[in-house]
Amino acid sequence: MDIQLVAEGLQFPEGPIALADGSVLLVEIQRQTLTRITPDGKRETVANLPGGPNGAALGPDGAVYVTNNGGAFNFHDMGGLNIPGPTPPTHVGGSIQRVDLNTGRVEMLYDACDGVRLVGPNDLVFDRQGGIWFTDHGCTTPEGRKFGALYYAKADGSRIEQVRGGFVSPNGVGLSPEEDVVYMADTTLGRLWAFDLAGPGVLAEPPMFQPARVVCTLPGYQLLDSLAVEASGKVCVATIINGGITAFDPDGSTEHFTFPDPIVTNICFGGADMRDAWITASGTGKLYKARWPRPGLKLNFG
């Protein structure tokens, strides 16, 4: 695969959004910003997002919605790689934010559900109705792991619901082309889950004794991060340790595309034919562009 370096010197980039003018919006978790990368690789700050902006998506109103983990990671250098470390003791929780691209104004939409504080919101995707599916990654504490969950919320701040909880480390989230399945990657398990939908924002009953269907659990020690769906229905998940993108068929078969960083965290699609792929290589602080072998699925408001 032909890989082009677009930008470097980024501080743990994630959440890329491909724009029609050829630029890319992304978050820099460590720098705590929403950033625009122009086609020539220059960096412009769109908004400051204290805490830990983790995922981003364009909403139905043209604003960018951000999952902010609230500063759930410390960062440290490990052999030239920027590594997110344990959750600091000062961490109290995260939120869902809305950023006006014209003014840079930041609005907090949600920081709790049913009176319980969100722990570490991680990634999000909009359905056709303008609803937000988002993951809460949980966090690590000295006593053990706070579990994460899958949520559904309205973009106007009027409704938030935990639709299924008790997961080890929810991360990437995406919708099938027909929007009858929500896919969710679990980082620590290296597992891609599939939640069948009964309707917008409503999960169908899962298989007996299971929280959802298992698409595939990767062998060995491979960690899964954010994801994007192809027009064909394949689910492309950024893969850590075995650095690259793993494309999952809904039947569980996989193929792997290697990128030059063991901490590949995100992929998004764009371009006239939806075959331009932008990949965040977060350990080295780089953004790459590649020609994908198949077109990606166009997002509802992207």
Please tell me the distance from the alpha carbon of residue 276 to that of residue 278, in angstroms, as a whole number: 7
Per-residue pLDDT at 112 exceeds 90: yes
For residue 29, the model assigns a pLDDT of 98
Q: Residue 159 — pLDDT band, cuts 50, 70, 90? A: very high
How wide is the angle at C-alpha 30 spanned by C-alphas 235 and 281, nearest 5°?
40
Per-residue pLDDT at 142 exceeds 90: no
Cross-strand partners of 180: none
Average pLDDT, integer, range 124-136: 98
Sign (positive or negative) of CA dihedral 260, 54, 193, 201: negative
For residue 196, the model assigns a pLDDT of 98
Q: Residue 255: which residues within 8 A CB-CB, separation 6 or more?
A: 246, 247
Please tell me the distance from the alpha carbon of residue 170 to that of residue 180, in angstroms, as a whole number: 19
Please tell me the distance from the alpha carbon of residue 150 to that of residue 289, in angstroms, as a whole number: 30
Place of tokens 């078969």: 253
Encoding tokens for residue 34? 């929403």
pLDDT, tens digit, 9 for 90 and up, residues 19-63: 999 999 999 999 999 999 999 999 999 999 999 999 999 999 999
For residue 255, the model assigns a pLDDT of 98
For residue 200, the model assigns a pLDDT of 96
Share of the chain above pLDDT 90, in %: 97
Region at 12 (left for phi over 0; alpha for psi -120 to 50; beta for the rest): left
For residue 302, the model assigns a pLDDT of 83
Encoding tokens for residue 84? 């997110």
pLDDT, tens digit, 9 for 90 and up, residues 1-25: 899 999 999 999 999 999 999 999 9
Q: Residue 149 — pLDDT band, cuts 50, 70, 90? A: very high
For residue 73, the model assigns a pLDDT of 95
For residue 143, the model assigns a pLDDT of 87
Please tell me the distance from the alpha carbon of residue 96 to that of residue 123, in angstroms, as a whole number: 10
Per-residue pLDDT at 155 exceeds 90: yes
Is the distance from CB of 70 to CB of 139 less than 8 angstroms? no
With residues binned 3-state (H G I as helix, E B as strand, rest as coil), the percentages for the chain, rounded to 5, are: 0, 55, 45
pLDDT, tens digit, 9 for 90 and up, residues 235-279: 999 999 999 999 999 999 999 999 999 999 999 999 999 999 999
Please tell me the distance from the alpha carbon of residue 167 to that of residue 113, in angstroms, as a whole number: 16
Per-residue pLDDT at 145 exceeds 90: yes
User: Using the 8-state DSSP alphabet, how is residue 88 labeled?
Assistant: P
Instruction: Catalogue the long-range contacts made by 187-191 (C-beta closer than 8 Å, 24 or more residues apart).
Output: 187/137, 187/223, 187/224, 187/225, 187/240, 188/223, 189/217, 189/224, 190/217, 190/218, 190/221, 190/222, 190/223, 190/224, 191/215, 191/216, 191/217, 191/218, 191/224
pLDDT, tens digit, 9 for 90 and up, residues 166-211: 999 999 999 999 999 999 999 999 999 999 999 999 999 999 999 9
Tell me the CA distances in angstroms from 41 to 9, 34, 44, 279, one per residue in order: 10, 15, 10, 14
User: Using the 8-state DSSP alphabet, how is residue 296 labeled?
Assistant: B
